[in-house]
Structures are given as C-alpha cells and as structure tokens.
Amino acid sequence: MSDTPISDSTPHNVGDLGMLCRRLERELTEARTRIKELADIGGALFDNIACGCSDGGCKTCRRAITDWNETVKRCLEGIE
C-alpha cells in the first residue's frame, strides 16, 4: 500500500476523479461483502464446533472463533 493517495500520484481531471471514485466505491462494496461472508463463516463454525478438544466443551476453539468474529466486525465497522 502506498503512502501517496491515488488521486495525488497522477495528473487528473474531474472526469478521471469521478471514475476513480466509482471504482473505489465498487471495491469498497466488494470488501464489505467479503467481510460479511467471513463473519457468517465464523458464526457457522461457532455453532457447529465438534473438535474433541481436551477441555471437553471446545472452549479454546469457541474463544478463537469469538476473537475471529470480533476482528471481522471491527474490520467491517472500519469501512462502513
């Protein structure tokens, strides 16, 4: 990732910036969709744990998935 914003790195006009904005909006929408899918996967994993952990209740796995879901939610909050 560059420290220079895309709009500062090349000469541009209003039309170019409009196209750039639309492209970035599409990429943001795709990122949100992927993050929501990851959250759904984490939720499904949490609901279907049957790993045979030594603690009997799969507490370690549930904690790991809970941490995962919290991280995914923070990512989603950061782009909404």
pTM equals 0.57
CA distances from 16 to 5, 25, 26 (A): 14, 14, 15
Question: Do 46 and 61 contact (CB within 8 A), yes or no?
Answer: no
Residue 6 above 70 pLDDT?
no
> What does the pLDDT average to over 10-30?
84
Question: Do 31 and 79 contact (CB within 8 A), yes or no?
Answer: yes
Q: What is the pLDDT of residues 22-56, one digit of tens each?
A: 999 999 888 888 888 888 887 777 776 666 666 65
Tokens of residue 28, six digits: 């943001």
